[in-house]
Amino acid sequence: MLLSSISNISDGVQIIKDDYFDTLGLTSNKYIDERVLVFLNDLKYLHEFEVNSNIACVICVKDIAKIINNKKDIGICVTANPKKLFFEFHNYLFKNTRFYGEKKANKIAKSAKIHPSANIGESNITIGKKTIIEANVTILNNVEIGENVVIRAGTVIGSEGFQFVRTSDEVIPVFSAGGVKIHDNVEIQSNTCIDKGVFKGNTEIGQYTKVDNLVHIAHDVKMGKRCMIVASSLIAGRVRIKDGVWIGASASVSNGISIGNDARISIGSVVTKDVMDNQTVTGNFAIEHKKFIEFIKTIR
């Protein structure tokens, strides 16, 4: 889609250079293998913008446009409030176009066992062979569930992401246009909630991962294979979790964090920085486990 199509929703824009994009995203998201439209309204995010090679178009303020024009050969749209226009454009594409895809009939394997009280959405849902959906589960549109998956009672898959835009006089809700993909042999226990992706991408749970009761997995999380996510954990939006990760009970992981292979997040930890492969972190705010224990010894 051409950047100039944004003129359909606002007259208060100036197209410095037109170009095309495949999806929308944030400057910090380097995992999209398509041409991305982003917004930029603060120079503190300029480094993220510069190192993200997938950015094809940007909505920004006039002063930033001058800087960008000398750094990247991309489409540039100028407006007074880039963030607001960006999400208004996203909502427009979601409601009024087929940019984010079309509705398709559900595909549910005959061998899947779905409890009569489960609530299954009307479109774009796939449920694989021998999957079990227990009582009072809700599966909303744009959810793909693999084979031999177990979804325990009361869980919600594919809920709206917590994404809003605050302006000086209102709060604008942002529609979730993506989906959820749950790979084979996953088990998700009772009263857990998994949000769908905000843009074209999916929130994703890898093979053989096990998710305990009362866990919240927010929009656009990518979780690897064989992970263990223990009860009451909170995984905020856009977190990247590699294979074999253990996240302890009541731990919280801040948005955009990356957690490496076989890392361990101890019980009750609050994670605000990336965690390396095989690292164990502890505390609020979480630090390397051995450092935390040594600190505790000094104050006892």
Taking the chain, what is the end-to-end CA distance rounded to the nearest angstrom? Answer: 61
CB 131 within 8 A of CB 149: yes
Cα angle at 156 between 112 and 281, to 5 degrees? 110
Token pair 């999916």: residue: 202
Residue 63 CB contacts under 8 Å (≥ 6 apart), including other chains: none
Residue 15 CB contacts under 8 Å (≥ 6 apart), including other chains: 3, 4, 6, 7, 75, 76, 77, 78
**Residues 266, 293: Cα–Cα separation, whole Å:** 12
Is 219 annotated in the active site?
yes
**Residues 243, 263: Cα–Cα separation, whole Å:** 9
CB 6 within 8 A of CB 77: yes
Active-site residue among 115, 183, 219, 289? 219
| Catalytic residue set | 219
